[in-house]
Amino acid sequence: MPRGGKPEWLKVRAPGSENYLRLKGLMRTLGLHTVCEEANCPNIGECWHHGTATFMILGDTCTRSCGYCNVVHGTPQSPDANEPAKVASAIHAMELAYVVVTSVDRDDLPDGGASHFARTIGETRARIPSCRLEVLIPDFKGDEAALRTVLDARPDVLNHNIETVPRLYRTARPGGRYERALQVLERARAYAPAIPTKSGLMVGLGEEWDEVVETLRDLNAAG
C-alpha cells in the first residue's frame, strides 16, 4: 500500500522570518543558549517568529546522557557569572510577559546550579517586575537545600519533568531516578505551597497505557 504524504499540520516551514532572525541575532550577541536550538526543536521557526523561546542556562553541555535528548553531554565549562543578567536583558529586549528558564544538568557543581537559577530569577525580577517566570529545574541529585535555594527566589511556577514511566527510566533516563523526581515535586509543594508545581511526561517510548495512568496518579499525589 503506497504511503501518503505528511498531513499539513505536521509540516513546518524553514525558519527565516524577520522576528526569527532578530531573536537569533540577540541570542548570539548575548552569548545565550536556548533549548530550541540545542535540542534541535523542529518548531523553532514558529516559536521564535512569535517571540517565544525557552532559555537554557548553565551552558550548553550536560553532565548526563538521556536517551531522548539531543543536547551535547560531556564535561561542561564553568558557568558564565554574567549569564543571569544577560537573560534578563534578553527578556527585556523581547518584551516578554511569560518566560521559561531551564538548564542542562550540572552534577559537577556543588549545588547543581541552583544559585544560578536564583540569580537569574532575581535579575529578571529587578529588570522586568511584571514578567512571570517559570523554571524547569533538574533534580539537583535530590539536594533539598538546592531546591530551597530556587524556591526562595520565588519563581511563579516550579517545573520538574518526570519524563517517562518507571520501567523505562534505566534506558531513557539513566542518570535520573523516578522516585527522586517525584520527591522534588513533593518537597517543593511542602516548602512553598503558594508556588504552583508542574511536570511533563513523554509518550511514544514504549510505555503501556496503564503505566501512563499510574505515573499521572503518582504526579497527582506528589502535588
Decide: 104 and 56 in contact? Cβ < 8 Å. Answer: yes
The span from the CA of 223 to the CA of 213, in Å, is 16
pLDDT at residue number 15:
63
In the chain, the number of structural domains is 1
CATH of the domain at 48: 3.20.20.70
Q: Return d(Cα 56, Cα 136) in angstroms, integer.
A: 9
**Residue for grid cell 521564535:** 48
Q: Which residue has the higher pLDDT, 50 or 13?
A: 50
Q: Is residue 7 part of a domain?
A: no
Residue 100 structural domain: 15-222
Q: Report how far residue 92's alpha carbon sits from residue 31's, in angstroms, rounded to the nearest whole number.
A: 16
User: Are the C-beta atoms of 26 and 93 separated by less than 8 Å?
Assistant: yes
pLDDT of residue 2: 59
Residue 93 lies in a domain: yes
**Contacts of range 33-36, beta carbons closer than 8 Å, 24 or more positions apart:** 33/57, 33/59, 33/60, 35/71, 35/102
Supply φ then ψ for residue 132, to 5 degrees: -85, 135
The pLDDT tens digits for 132-159 are: 999 999 999 999 999 999 999 999 999 9
Whether pLDDT at 40 is above 90? no
Q: What is the mean pLDDT of residues 113-121?
A: 98
SS3 111: coil
Say what the pTM is. 0.87
Q: What is the pLDDT of residues 79-106, one digit of tens each?
A: 999 999 999 999 898 888 888 999 989 9
**Greater confidence, 23 or 143?**
143
Q: Is residue 120 domain-resident?
A: yes
Side by side, the strands of the sheet bearing 33-34 are 33-34, 54-57, 98-103, 132-136, 157-159, 197-198
pLDDT per position as a tens digit, 101-116: 999 899 999 999 999 9
Per cent of the chain over pLDDT 90 is 59
Any domain includes 2: no
The answer to whether 192 and 151 have CB atoms below 8 angstroms apart is: yes
Nearest to 27 by CA among 13, 41, 37: 37
